[in-house]
């Protein structure tokens, strides 16, 4: 079986590129497909006109006009079309829609879609209304031509079914797996004593709800529960209760081990994100038996199974709600240990790339079987 792996910006050979999803998908497929060819990533410069539009949008609207400009769409599509006609694959796989908008497919397409434009445009309005209009229409063309779609949340699946009119039998929902190799993950019991150790992993302060996590930490300390919070992926001014750990490169063995040490240290992941399509770091935490306290923003209620791998609070829950749930487990250590054990079991069954890779392989075989009949 010959497979063409299409990408846009993210390099599937780089574990630090795009949260590692393309890297892990490529690794899972590379060990299974007879032949695998990569189309991309594409580094295409804007035209002079596009640069002017982009600059004006940033100045006057404080937003980007669009994520990918027409020049990127046109040139990336031409390159993918050329590679496809040259390699003649049996199947195409892509997590990016942009390089496939204008492609005349010669083989079935498996599209991995963590979020859709219709879903995020109100929750994550970083682009202009006209830009979203173009992006919606480009994306719909790819969704329509995809033989099967894999998405990481029930919330996005509903959008695909009800707003994009994609048949339900052409959609698979699977929680986003951890980006960390199995060999690095293990569960060791960490009793709640001396202090409550929290971790938040994310690159944006407001988006990931760092302010809410800090406030919850302060509330717990005021209640007499000694609580520490480590914020990984950001820089800031640390205090006795809150420490900013900065960014780590997973390509560097020493930095990777230092990154993992944050998980080995923590009792809980606190993740008050204001919107996340999936939240890959929550699956990483589960690989160490660390439950997550989060909220039902975006697709987080699929990544975290309420009562099994953590707790999912109502969307936009305040810091006090997080503090209340964490205080409950501080006062009920047996319930905490039970939650850690079920978190790690869920990781082993669902939240690894072995699990998703096996499912992906079955989807491809089913699609090939259906199209050959």
Both tokens of 367, joined, read 């699609």
Answer whether 3's CB lies under 8 Å from 35's CB. yes
Return the SS3 of 325.
helix
**Could you list the pLDDT tens digit for every one of the 373 residues in the chain?**
999 999 999 999 998 887 789 999 999 998 888 899 999 999 999 999 999 999 999 998 888 999 999 999 999 999 999 999 999 999 999 999 999 999 999 999 999 999 999 998 888 788 999 999 999 999 999 999 999 999 999 999 999 999 999 999 999 999 999 999 888 888 999 999 899 999 999 999 999 999 999 999 999 999 999 999 999 999 999 999 999 999 998 888 899 999 999 999 999 999 999 999 999 999 999 999 999 999 999 999 999 999 999 999 999 999 999 999 999 999 999 999 999 999 999 999 999 999 999 999 999 999 999 888 7
Contact 255, 275 (CB under 8 A): no
- Structure confidence at residue 46 (pLDDT): 94
Q: What's the pLDDT at 372?
A: 80
Helix, strand, or coil here: 114? coil
Supply the pLDDT for residue 195.
95
pLDDT at residue number 66 = 94
Structure tokens at 138: 């480009």
Q: Which DSSP string corresponds to 77-136?
A: HHHHHHHHHHH--SEEEES-SGGGTT---SS-EEEE-S--HHHHHHHS--B-HHHHHHHH
Q: Please tell me whether the peptide bond between 41 and the residue prior to it is cis, using omega within 30 degrees of 0.
A: yes
Do residues 224 and 207 touch, judged by C-beta distance below 8 A? no
Q: Which phi and psi angles does 195 have, rounded to 5°?
A: -155, 160
- C-alpha 220/C-alpha 161 separation (Å) is 42
Spell 61-80 as b/e; 16+ CB within 10 A means b: eeeebbbbbeebbeebbebb
**Domain limits, the chain:** 2-177+353-372, 182-350
Beta-carbon count within 10 A of 125 CB = 11
What is d(CA 292, CA 299) in angstroms, rounded to the nearest whole number? 14
- pLDDT of 71 reads 96
Q: Rounded CA gap, 265 and 199, in Å?
A: 9
Q: What is the DSSP string of 268-290?
A: EEEE--S--SS-HHHHHHHTTT-
Q: How far apart are CA 145 and CA 351, in angstroms?
A: 28
DSSP for 26-65, written as a single string = HHHHHTTSSEEEEE-----PPPHHHHHHHHHHHHHTSSBS
The C-alpha atoms of residue 187 and residue 176 are separated, in whole angstroms, by: 19
CATH of domain 2-177+353-372: 3.40.50.2000
pLDDT by residue (tens digit) across 39-49? 999 999 999 99
Residue 44: predicted pLDDT = 93
Helical axes 319-331 vs 333-350, angle rounded to 10° = 110
Q: 110 pairs with which residues across the strands?
A: 93, 148
pTM of the model: 0.92
Check residue 33 and give its pLDDT: 87
Contact 137, 121 (CB under 8 A): no
pLDDT of 29 reads 93
The domains spanning 2-177+353-372 and 182-350 adopt the same CATH topology: yes
Residue 4: what pLDDT?
97
pLDDT at 18: 75
Matching CATH number, 182-350, of 3.40.1410.10, 3.40.50.970, 3.20.20.70, 3.40.50.2000:
3.40.50.2000
């Amino acid at each position: 079986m010959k497979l063409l792996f299409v990408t846009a910006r993210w390099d599937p050979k780089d574990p630090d590129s795009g949260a590692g999803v393309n890297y892990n998908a490529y690794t899972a497929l590379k060990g299974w497909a007879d032949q695998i060819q990569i189309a991309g990533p594409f580094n295409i410069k804007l035209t002079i006109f596009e640069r002017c539009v982009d600059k004006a949008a940033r100045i006057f609207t404080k937003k980007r006009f669009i994520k990918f400009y027409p020049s990127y769409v046109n040139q990336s599509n031409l390159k993918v079309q050329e590679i496809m006609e040259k390699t003649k694959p049996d199947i195409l796989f892509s997590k990016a829609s942009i390089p496939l908008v204008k492609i005349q497919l010669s083989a079935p397409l498996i599209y991995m879609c963590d979020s859709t434009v219709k879903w995020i445009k109100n929750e994550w309005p970083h682009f202009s209304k006209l830009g979203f209009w173009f992006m919606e229409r480009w994306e719909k063309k790819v969704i329509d031509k995809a033989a099967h779609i894999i998405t990481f949340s029930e919330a996005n699946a509903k959008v695909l079914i009800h707003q994009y009119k994609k048949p339900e039998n052409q959609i698979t929902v699977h929680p986003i797996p951890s980006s960390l190799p199995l060999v690095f993950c293990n569960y060791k019991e960490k009793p709640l004593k001396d202090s409550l150790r929290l971790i938040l992993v994310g690159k944006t302060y407001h988006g990931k709800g760092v302010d809410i996590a800090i406030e919850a930490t302060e509330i717990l300390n005021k209640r007499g529960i000694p609580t520490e919070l480590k914020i990984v992926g950001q820089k800031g001014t640390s205090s006795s209760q809150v420490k900013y750990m900065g960014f780590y490169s997973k390509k560097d063995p020493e930095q990777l081990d230092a990154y993992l040490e944050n998980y080995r240290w923590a009792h809980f992941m606190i993740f008050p994100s204001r919107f996340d399509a999936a939240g890959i770091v929550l699956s990483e935490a589960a690989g160490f038996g660390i439950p997550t306290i989060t909220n039902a923003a975006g697709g987080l209620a699929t990544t975290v199974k309420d009562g099994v791998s953590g707790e999912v609070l109502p969307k936009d829950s305040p810091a006090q709600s997080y503090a209340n749930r964490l205080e409950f487990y501080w006062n009920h250590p047996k319930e905490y240990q039970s939650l850690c054990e079920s978190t790690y079991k869920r990781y082993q069954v669902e939240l690894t790339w072995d699990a998703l890779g096996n499912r992906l392989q079955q989807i491809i075989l089913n699609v090939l079987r259906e199209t050959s009949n």
